[in-house]
Amino acid sequence: MKQIECKNIVVNYDSNIAVKNVSFSIDKGDYLCIVGENGSGKSTLIKSILGLEKIKSGEVIFLNDLKRNEIGYLPQQTIVQKDFPASVYEVVLSGTLNSRGIKPFYSKKEKDIANENIEKLGLKELKNKSYKELSSGQQQRVLLARALCSTKKIIFLDEPITGLDINITKEMYAIIKKINVQGITVVMVSHDINFAINNANKILHMQKECKFFGTVNDYVNSEIYKNFIGGSENV
pLDDT along the chain (235 residues), means of 10: 96 91 97 95 96 95 93 79 82 82 76 94 94 90 94 94 85 93 96 92 97 97 92 48
DSSP letter at 75 equals P
Residues in the chain: 235
What's the CA angle centered on 199, arms 150 and 3, to 5 degrees? 40
- Exposed/middle/buried for residue 71 (C-beta within 10 Å: 0-12, 13-18, 19+): buried
pLDDT for position 106: 80
Of the candidates 129, 97, 122, 101, which has an alpha carbon nearest to the alpha carbon of residue 111?
97
The letter for the amino acid at 165 is D
Strand ranges (E), the chain: 2-13, 16-27, 31-35, 57-62, 71-74, 154-158, 185-189, 202-207, 209-215
In contact, 20 and 58? CB cutoff 8 Å: no
Alpha carbons 24 and 63: distance in angstroms, whole number: 13
- Residue 27 — φ and ψ, nearest 5°? -100, 155
Q: Is the pTM of this model over 0.85?
A: yes
pLDDT for position 91: 93
pLDDT for position 79: 53
pLDDT for position 101: 58
Tally of CA atoms within 13 A in the half-sphere of 74 that contains its CB: 29
Q: Which residues have CB under 8 Å from 12's CB, separation 6+?
A: 18, 56
Superfamily of the domain at 1-66+189-235: P-loop containing nucleotide triphosphate hydrolases (3.40.50.300)
Neighbours of 10 (CB within 10 A): 16
